């Protein structure tokens, strides 16, 4: 046969091969799925306790690994360093990480909480944010309470330079307030609720809109490699959310047990968490865009970054169950 014949056959076979869609990763599974569980994400506590995610991936033999997180910033750091595949945090924390170059993608909203407040001690003369000028405030940098504090100061016409931020963990922030080593504390539940109920701490500023939601993030590479796994993790999250709405008493008991707090404190914490929606809609995105401007003002993101674009690229609702 002539060389021309072989060239034609090779060309036809090559075209046939290229026409076959190479979607080999679309249905593939990772060797393991790792997630955080945290007090700021009560659904994660339920999911871990009842093993629903393990059962979801049992047929494929994919093990589930749980990593405890003391806060959203810690969760996102673990995601950045590939210690976990899914991280739960506030929306604004996720915005900051992405704006600083981390290719994260928000794929689910697990709650709309009001878990952060500005507290003062029971006997404090301070009653409003504007009275914090020149005062010492305990806050954990990079966390949702820290961003809440930025927003609260901004609303009162104050800047960070008008106050003294004492960088402390959530637990040490409570201790500092109770010992009167600071004048106020940017507090988060369950530590916030415990301090209020057990020590009479007073909230001088509350604003649910500035709690910046509860978001579940993964990396763009994980989502691209294992889209089915992402969708199924979210499907289980949705099952847990719907269970929580139907079993509030059981949720409070489980939360109290996991967080090692009293049932009355757990009830207060859960009364502040709205589990009615899982979709970060246009209203959610608008709130995040407005808040993200504070990150620019405080030089917490690189100059020249469009935070509006960051928010738009961050949130991806395509993995949510179709209604």
Residue 21: per-residue pLDDT: 33
> Is there a contact between 252 and 266 (Cβ–Cβ < 8 Å)?
yes
Parts of the chain with a pLDDT under 50: 1-26
Distance CA 120, CA 186 (A): 9
- Domains of the chain, each with CATH number or no CATH: 33-113+212-319 (3.40.190.10), 116-205 (3.40.190.10)
Sign of dihedral through CA atoms 220, 225, 230, 231? positive
Residue 323: per-residue pLDDT: 64
Prediction pTM value: 0.87
**Contacts of 288 by beta carbon, 8 Å cutoff, 6+ apart:** 91, 92, 95, 212, 213, 311
pLDDT tens per residue across span 83-104:
999 999 999 999 999 999 999 9
Neighbours of 295 (CB within 10 A): 20
Distance CA 220, CA 309 (A): 16
First-to-last alpha carbon distance for the chain, in angstroms, is 60
């Amino acid at each position: 046969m002539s060389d021309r014949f072989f060239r034609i056959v090779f060309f036809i076979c090559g075209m046939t091969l290229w026409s076959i869609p190479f979607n080999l990763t679309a249905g593939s599974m990772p060797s393991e799925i790792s997630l955080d569980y945290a007090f700021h994400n009560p659904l994660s506590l339920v999911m871990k306790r009842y093993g629903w995610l393990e059962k979801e991936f049992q047929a494929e033999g994919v093990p589930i690994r749980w990593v405890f997180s003391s806060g959203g910033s810690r969760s996102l750091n673990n995601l950045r360093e590939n210690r976990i595949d899914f991280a739960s945090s506030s929306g604004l924390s996720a915005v900051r990480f992405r704006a600083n170059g981390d290719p994260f993608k928000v794929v689910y909203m697990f709650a709309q909480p009001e878990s952060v407040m500005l507290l003062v001690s029971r006997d404090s003369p301070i009653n409003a944010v504007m009275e914090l000028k020149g005062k010492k405030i305990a806050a954990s940098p990079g966390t949702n309470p820290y961003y809440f504090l930025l927003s609260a100061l901004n609303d009162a016409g104050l800047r960070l330079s008008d106050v003294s931020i004492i960088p402390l963990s959530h637990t040490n922030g409570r201790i500092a307030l109770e010992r009167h080593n600071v004048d106020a504390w940017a507090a988060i539940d369950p530590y916030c609720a415990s301090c209020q109920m057990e020590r009479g701490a007073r909230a001088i500023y509350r604003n649910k809109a500035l709690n910046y939601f509860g978001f579940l993030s993964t990396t763009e590479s994980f989502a691209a490699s294992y889209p089915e796994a992402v969708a199924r993790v979210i499907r289980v999250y949705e099952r847990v959310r719907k269970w929580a709405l139907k079993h509030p008493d059981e949720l409070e008991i489980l939360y109290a047990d996991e967080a090692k707090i009293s049932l009355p404190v757990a009830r207060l914490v859960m009364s502040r968490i709205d589990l009615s929606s899982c979709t970060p809609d246009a209203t959610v995105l608008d709130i995040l865009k407005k808040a993200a401007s504070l990150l620019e003002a405080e030089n917490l993101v690189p100059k020249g970054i469009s935070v509006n674009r960051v928010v738009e690229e961050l949130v991806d609702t395509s993995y949510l169950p179709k209604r």
